[in-house]
Every structure is written in structure tokens, then in C-alpha cells.
Amino acid sequence: MIQNATYEYDCMAMHMQHETMLVEKNIKEDFKKLHQLLNEEEKAMLGELKQEKDEKLQRMKDKKTNKSLSNTIRDLERELDCADIRLLQNFKYILKRAKHTLEDPMMAAGELINSAKYLGNLKFSVWRNIRISISYIPVILDPNMVNYELELSKDLSHVWNPNEIAADEYLAGVPLPKNLERFDCCPCVLGYVSYSTGTHTSC
């Protein structure tokens, strides 16, 4: 009797050690994936900001160049007014046409960085983008209730009979401890359901 109790306690301790190690490993893996998704979102947003800055700075540079060119044309026209008109008539006409094709160097709408686009609801926007990349499982299987003949996947979303299907290890090789919640008589497992409203059935 005492030997049986000691054996059960040893099995339970071994199970808890192994389960803790696996749960810790899975938590770290999932957070690593979340960190990676966050890093990708950050890089994408910073890349978009840099592209906008480069494009708008280039437009400013082009306008500045146009402004300088416009001043040069004005100076040349002053000189032409003092020169022999008959000899330079065609040249003056060309310069006049060039002046009219230049853009107005005044600041137009939308020339500044669109800060609101990046900072407005930043956390929500990142969360929404990450949410698309993450799968949601409404029913999570309870490893404390699974029958001894069955095994669960490490994300607790699938159950199988390891004697029939190649297993994705969760607690393979570790004896499951006896507890009052576990199904002893039939190969069953219960799950936690995350539904909050409505009626749901399964066949």
C-alpha cells in the first residue's frame, strides 16, 4: 500500500517536472514568434516612413532646384534686355517658355510627413496586423482529463491514439498521474470552450 502510494507520488512528480519543462518551452517559442511578428511590423512601418521622407525630401530638392533655375532665367532676361535683340531674339523666346513650365516653388498640401498615419492608434494597428497572422483555437483540450490511451498535441488542439497514428509528442513516454478528473474507463478528453454567447453543437 505504502509502496503504491510512493510510486504514484513519484509518477506525479515526474509528470509535473516534464509537463512544466514542455509548457515553459512552448511559452518561449510562442513569445519568440510574437517578438518576430512585432519586429517585422516595426521594420515595415519604419521602412514606409523612410520611403515617405525620401520621396518628400526629393520633391523639396527638385523645387529648390527649380527655384534656383527660375532666378537664373530672370538674370539672363535682364542681360538680354540690354543686348542686341535681333541677335538674341530666339534665345530669349526659349528662356521665356522655360520659365512658364517651372512649378511654383510654394509649399503644397501634403508635403510634410504624415505623422498621424504612423502614430494614430499605433498599438491597435500593429495588434490588428499581427492578429491576422495568428490562428485562434476556440476549444482547448485539458491534459489533466485526457484518457491514458490518448495523447494531445503541444498546443492542446488535437487528440489522437498513439497506437493508431504517429504522435506529435506532448507527454510521450511520461506516465500520466492518476487524478479524479482523468477519464479512466473510456478514451475521452474534455476541453475548455471560449464561446461567450449563442448556442453551439458538435456531432
Boundaries of every domain in the chain: 2-133, 136-203
| Tens-digit pLDDT profile for residues 40-93 | 999 999 999 999 999 988 888 887 777 666 666 666 666 666 655 554 555 655
Which range, 71-75, 107-111, 153-157, has the best average confidence (pLDDT)?
Answer: 153-157
Residue 119 has pLDDT above 80, yes or no: yes
Residue 112 has pLDDT above 70, yes or no: yes
* 31 or 155, higher pLDDT: 31
At 198, is the pLDDT very low, low, confident or very high (cuts 50, 70, 90)?
low
Q: Residue 23: phi, psi to the nearest 5? A: -65, -45
Residue 31 has pLDDT above 90, yes or no: yes
Q: Which residues contact 168 (CB under 8 A, 6 or more apart)?
A: 153, 154, 158
Residue 24 has pLDDT above 50, yes or no: yes
What is the predicted pLDDT for the residue at 51? 94
Mean pLDDT across the chain, nearest whole number? 75
The grid cell for 168 is: 506529435
Task: Kindly state the average pLDDT of the residues 148-176.
Answer: 68
| Tens-digit pLDDT profile for residues 120-138 | 899 998 988 888 888 878 7
Task: Kindly state the average pLDDT of the residues 22-43.
Answer: 92
Residue 151 has pLDDT above 90, yes or no: no
> Does residue 191 sit in helix, strand or coil?
strand
Cα gap 63→44, rounded to integer Å: 29
DSSP state letters, 96-135: HHHHHHSPP-SPPTT-S--HHHHHTTHHHHHHHHHHHHS-
What is the predicted pLDDT for the residue at 11? 81
Residue 171 has pLDDT above 60, yes or no: no
Residue 203 has pLDDT above 50, yes or no: no
